[in-house]
Amino acid sequence: MKFLPRLLSRIIRAGTLTLTTPNGRVHEFRGSAPGPHVKLRITDPSLDWKIFFSPELAGAEAYMDGTLIVEDGDAYSLLQLIFLNKGDFDNSPGQRFWYAIGLAFRRYLQYNPLSKAKKNAGHHYNTGNDFYRMWLDEDMQYSCAYFPTGQETLEQAQVLKKRHIAAKLGLAPGQKVLDIGCGWGGMALYLAAVADVEVTGVTLAEEQLKIAQARAKAAGLEDRVTFELRDYRNITETYDRVVSVGMLEHVGVTHLGEYFRKVQDVLKPDGVALIHSISSRTPPSVTGPFLRKYIFPGGYAPSVSEAMRSVEESGLWLLDSEIWRVHYAPTLMHWRQRFMARRDEAVARYDERFARMWEFYLAACECAFRYGDSHVFQFQLGRDRAAMPLHRDYVAGAAATLAAREAEAIPRINAATRSVFGETGGVPHPAVAAEFENT
């Protein structure tokens, strides 16, 4: 082997990497800065040039295939080592080449018209409700939780996230709320039960929709919450409030303007929207090839500048903006630990390669928020500059009011969720097994 050792000798500046090649030869790459010590063994000689030519994708696929084996450490420690050396990693020839290609074709790669949006959503979310049930919190929140002290449990932090967003929406009983990208319905059910509003949630994932509808019925909230299989671009009604958590990442760079214009269109004159999205402190970029191919086809977390430009062009007022810098790292840590505790079930339901893919994905995302450039923004938007108070003092008071109402509402929603999963079994979408068999 000559290419891979040459690459690693240029990359490792922090921590230590010990590599055993297929012929049994051992190479050690020791950085001068502190970091984890990871021992790797590769069993496929072709990885010598494959990883050199395409480090990010070929390395991830080798881990998925079991031809790149972490003998001392795990996927997280490997990715921690990579992120601690990310500057040199990203400057490697293969990474620079594929980044340039991705940047040149990003409008095509992130093109997400109506004809593709449902398929892209189904690729990820139709994996099977029981799969996500293994490692998400009780309310099935698949977005960044809120850890104000860092000591919260995942369940507590997800409640705090919903409470914080609801407080910033400035809700009043009886208002009509649109939830764009409603997932399994947790945010919509919380708003209806705790804030006494009427909510319409839209999603393109059929498996999520079934659970959301069943949860609303089981919780006795079907008179206040409606869930629909519907693209946000087809919404024509108007609403007092719009909430969208973790949806903007699925819009695609060519559709950001369309998305924010739709938010503007569906808001009443005094309406308010809260848009919560993954983003980055860096300029506009591209989705990595591993995430693009295996996890979120058509997905892209826009930079703040990209999103803000589309907000400005929509005519909406930016009433407030908030950055959550590290909150997603502990969220992903909890998910990863819960997934690993039940990893055997994922292997039994799918296969070893699928489990390795998710292990790698969760570890990579956690490192991106803990060591990389990723963060989360919340845009509070309105058609009228006077739609919300001119200071943030109201948020604490609104949150306290919501907290007082949660004692009855949350156990009711959670009990409904448990009954729904007991009844449905969360059977995977039929297309999922075939998709992974052919990958």
Question: Token digits for 18?
Answer: 């010990």
Please compute, for residue 114, the number of CA atoms within 13 A of its CA located in the half-sphere on the CB side.
8
CB neighbours (10 Å) of residue 296? 19
Q: For the stretch 18-33, what's the b/e string if a residue is b when 16 or more beta carbons lie within 10 angstroms of its beta carbon?
A: bbbbeeeeeeebebee
Cα separation, 238 vs 245, whole angstroms: 19
Least Cα distance to 158 among 112, 202, 190, 204 occurs for 190
Q: Which two tokens stand for residue 326?
A: 């590290």
Q: Which one, of 421, 369, 361, 363, lies nearest residue 124 by Cα?
A: 361
- List residues bridging with 48 in a β-sheet: none
Which H or E element spans position 364?
A: helix 352-370
Q: Contact, 165 vs 276, CB < 8 A?
A: yes
In 196-284, where does DSSP find H-type helix?
Answer: 206-218, 256-266
- State how far the Cα of 144 lies from the Cα of 276, in Å rounded to an integer: 9
- What tokens were used for 53? 């030519």
Exposed / middle / buried, residue 233 (Cβ in 10 Å: 0-12, 13-18, 19+): middle
Token pair for 303: 């930079």
Catalytic residue among 144, 182, 365, 367: 365
Q: Provide the residue type at 57 as one letter.
A: L
Nearest one of 91, 102, 126 to 207, comparing CA atoms: 126
Q: What is the spatial distance between Cα 321 and Cα 378, in angstroms, rounded to a whole number?
A: 6
**Is 367 known to be catalytic?**
no
Query: Residue 95 in contact with residue 395, Cβ under 8 Å?
Result: no
**Residues identified as active-site:** 365
